[in-house]
């Protein structure tokens, strides 16, 4: 779309030369044909390095942008982003076409395929599954009954996806008006599941807002796990039942998260870290250590604090 047309749709106007825009992305990832936005000082350093063609931004920060990036001045950049995201949303239809299927596959007649689906060799898909448009499923992968794979999801080889799992559903993203209404940010990214991943029953993995939500090679996910948009789950990690990952959480390799533990968004957990059950991760954590409690701290620190608390309560009695 022409930038001028996009701005017209979201209640803004263009000053200067027009240009073609083919998508929306973050400051660090956007290219010359993409629109971006700035609404958080945490990313202020990225303004001078962005390659975005245009940026939704407050006037006081516009001077930080490169000369060849168009500043779109607004006092509500996040809300305008939400409105613009709808213009690039994938057009969902009920149309079905025959998938491209490899050798030795076993697929129940009740499976519903969208358009342009590609299935590798030796894939088994049991009854009631839905496979959306432009999905790719690697060889020797097994989908149990009633798994749902949304459009543009890529699934690797030798994966196991259990009943009721939903991969590629919308992440939970909304901008808010000054009077309290919630405006949907359309989730226009996708999900990539790498090889040898197992995903438990009724677990959900949200598609990215922009870019990709990743589940890396060899990771095993229990039942009833929620992975938010733009998360990156490191290779060979283990996520026990009812783990919750807020958006843009990054796990290193071989991270273990105990049952009902969770993370806040936009943080990193290092390689070979272990998060005890029911713990709440609120900040970036180093790898190679065990953490417990809320907020999560090193396990030995948590044990000492619990002992001191118990001793204090005992004295009060």
What are the catalytic residues?
229
Query: Quick one: what percent of the chain has pLDDT higher than 70?
Result: 100
Residue 294: other Cβ atoms inside 10 A: 13
What is the reported pLDDT for 317? 67
Spell out the alpha helix ranges (H) of the chain.
Answer: 3-9, 77-85, 299-316
Query: DSSP character for 63?
Result: G
Q: Does domain 100-300 have CATH number 2.160.10.10?
A: yes
Domain 3-88 CATH (choose: 3.30.390.10, 3.40.1390.10, 3.40.50.300, 2.60.40.1930): 3.40.1390.10
Domain locations along the chain: 3-88, 100-300
CA dist., res. 211 & res. 200, Å (int): 24
pLDDT reading at 34 higher than 80: yes
190: helix, coil or strand? strand
Mean pLDDT of the chain: 96
* pLDDT, tens digit, 9 for 90 and up, residues 224-269: 999 999 999 999 999 999 999 999 999 999 999 999 999 999 999 9
């Amino acid at each position: 779309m022409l930038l001028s047309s996009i701005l017209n749709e979201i209640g803004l106007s263009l000053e200067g030369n027009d240009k073609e825009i083919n998508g929306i992305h973050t400051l660090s990832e956007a290219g010359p044909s993409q629109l971006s936005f700035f609404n958080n000082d945490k990313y202020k350093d990225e303004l001078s390095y962005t390659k975005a063609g245009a940026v939704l931004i407050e006037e006081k920060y516009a001077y930080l942008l490169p000369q060849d990036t168009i500043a779109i001045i607004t006092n509500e950049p996040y809300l305008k982003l939400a409105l613009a995201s709808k213009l690039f949303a994938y057009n969902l239809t009920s149309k079905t076409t025959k998938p491209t299927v490899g050798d030795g596959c076993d697929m129940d007649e009740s499976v519903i395929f969208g358009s342009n689906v590609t299935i590798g060799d030796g894939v088994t898909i049991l009854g009631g599954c839905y496979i959306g448009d432009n999905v790719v499923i690697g060889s020797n992968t097994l989908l149990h009954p009633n798994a749902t794979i949304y459009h543009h999801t890529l699934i690797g080889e030798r994966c196991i996806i259990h009943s009721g799992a939903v991969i590629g559903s919308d992440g939970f993203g909304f901008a808010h008006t000054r009077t309290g209404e919630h405006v949907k940010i359309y989730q226009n990214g996708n999900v990539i599941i790498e090889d040898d991943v197992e995903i438990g029953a009724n677990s959900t993995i949200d598609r990215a807002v922009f870019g990709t939500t990743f589940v890396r090679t060899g990771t095993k996910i229990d039942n009833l796990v929620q992975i938010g948009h733009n998360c990156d789950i490191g290779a060979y990690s283990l996520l026990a039942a009812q783990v919750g990952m807020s958006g843009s959480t990054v796990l290193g390799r071989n991270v273990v998260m105990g049952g009902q533990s969770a993370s806040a968004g936009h943080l990193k957990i290092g390689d070979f870290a272990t998060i005890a059950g029911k713990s709440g991760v609120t900040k970036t954590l180093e790898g190679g250590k065990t953490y417990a409690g809320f907020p999560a701290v090193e396990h030995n620190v948590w044990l000492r604090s619990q002992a001191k608390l118990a001793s204090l309560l005992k004295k009060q009695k």
